[in-house]
Amino acid sequence: MPVFLDATSPDFEQSFTALLNAKREDSPDVDATVADIIADVRKRGDAAVIELTNKFDRVSLTPDTLRITDAEIETACTQVSAEDRAALELAAERIRAYHARQLPKDEQWTDESGATLGWRWGAVSAAGLYVPGGLASYPSSVLMNAIPAKVAGVGRLAMVVPAPDNVLNPLVLLAARLSGVDEVYRIGGAQAVAALAYGTDTIAPVDKITGPGNAFVAAAKRRVFGKVGIDMIAGPSEILVVADADNDADWIALDLLSQAEHDESAQSILITTDAAFGRSVAEAVEKRLETLERAHIAGPSWRDFGAVITVPDLATAAALTDRIAPEHLELCVADPHALSDQINHAGAIFLGQWTPEAIGDYVGGPNHVLPTARSARFSSGLSVLDFMKRTTLSHMSPQALRAIGPAAERLASSESLEAHGLSVTARLRKLND
């Protein structure tokens, strides 16, 4: 059973805090193993990558077969049905259109002192995309990571995807092709992350690595951070639905289950202004769990971490939402825009009853890589900006230096940084000659 909370009950604060702080995931500590793997790849390069991959994935790679050839990708793509291909193409097109709007603008201006200031954005030269193998090998994740990189202007995008027992998902390769991925390697785990970060004879190093993975991949990304950039380390998925009584309980139940079915550690929460509706949704969830293919995953998630919270009004719903800072937020109320305006912290908001969260996972356009574990308080979903960086620009005219240089001299002196001050003084002296 999920927990049922009532925001007006005297012990609510205590129960809600417990819900917020519940530890949902026990990541195994694989850091020492991962450190060894990275050191091995740095030392032995391809040989280490191949040895580890052959062992973990039960395959027989050689340096010549590390990379998946264009011909292999072509062949795999022909195995995809026309319907699946059309769906993937629609998704790619919509994701590209959304992310193209995120491209930031360069700026430059001259201020009243005569200083010309500004910044410009540039793309990361090379990026690496980790794609899990096996069950969690999602073509949608390839689109969501690769398209922003290519829209940003990343010149070289290398993807790694393990092929345990030589099985590869043709849809993943088609997604890579539709996204413009430049190179694909059939490797995975910490060794693949190390190869992307440090390079081997076969794989040139990249500057930024994104994409989801298991505990080994997460630990490897943490370890190579600094040498390369990484995206966030994602935790288990979450959804918060705020719904009034004027909804179909079954729809809301399915929305909650669409996160719960990802992972036993996923969390689905309903906040409703109507306690009876909350009970109906919980009943609808149980009913759906009777037949759902992934009930063995969604059931434990819902029972261990699910919650139904009754609130007296939508203002309370907004306040609780900010404390949860959900990854996905669905607003199924009469005026979802008004409620949205009251909320500060959420990764993605889905407005109204015709916008199930699953639309956002695939074809809506916005990115589905979103901040989990309350990190929407301080971070954002993946975007074009994650594959770009900004260089600031300053140009002083002689008169600008004359105008603001003395203040710099003064501050350098107050910080006892003499050479800083002298670098200005020497120039001002020339100007005042």
Q: Which of 327, 330, 357, 368 is catalytic?
A: 327
The answer to whether the annotation marks 108 as part of a ligand binding site is no
d(CA 381, CA 368): 7
Does 32 bind a second copy (CB under 8 A)? Our answer is: no
Contact residue for a second copy among 157, 423, 432, 433 (CB under 8 A): 423
**In this complex, which beta carbon is closest to a second copy, that of residue 183 or of residue 357?**
357
Q: Which of 328, 330, 357, 368 is catalytic?
A: 328
- In the range 45-104, which residues lie near a second copy by CB under 8 A? 83-84, 86-88, 90-91, 94, 97-98, 101-102
Q: C-beta of 262: minimal distance to a second copy in Å?
A: 7
Facing residues of 331 across strands? 242, 351
Give the tokens for residue 349: 């908001």
Pairing between strand 229-230 and 208-210?
Answer: parallel
Quick check: 240 and 232 in contact, CB under 8 A?
A: no
The answer to whether the annotation marks 130 as part of a ligand binding site is yes
Look up 328 and say whether it is catalytic.
yes
Q: C-beta of 275: minimal distance to a second copy in Å?
A: 23
| Secondary structure element (H or E) that encloses residue 258, with its range | helix 249-260
- In the range 348-377, which residues lie near a second copy by CB under 8 A? 348-367, 370-371, 373, 375-377
Residue type, 30: V
E strands present in 262-305: 267-272
Does 338 bind a second copy (CB under 8 A)? Our answer is: no
Look up 72 and say whether it is catalytic.
no
- In the range 187-206, which residues lie near a second copy by CB under 8 A? none
Does 13 bind a second copy (CB under 8 A)? Our answer is: no
The answer to whether the annotation marks 361 as part of a ligand binding site is yes
Does 125 bind a second copy (CB under 8 A)? Our answer is: yes
First-to-final CA distance of the chain: 83
242, HSE (Cβ side, Cα atoms, 13 Å): 32
Nearest CA to 275 out of 7, 81, 56 is that of 7
Contacts of 81 (CB under 8 A, 6+ apart): none
**In this complex, which beta carbon is closest to a second copy, that of residue 67 or of residue 427?**
427
Binding annotation? 130, 191, 214, 237, 259, 262, 328, 361, 415, 420
Residues with catalytic roles:
327-328
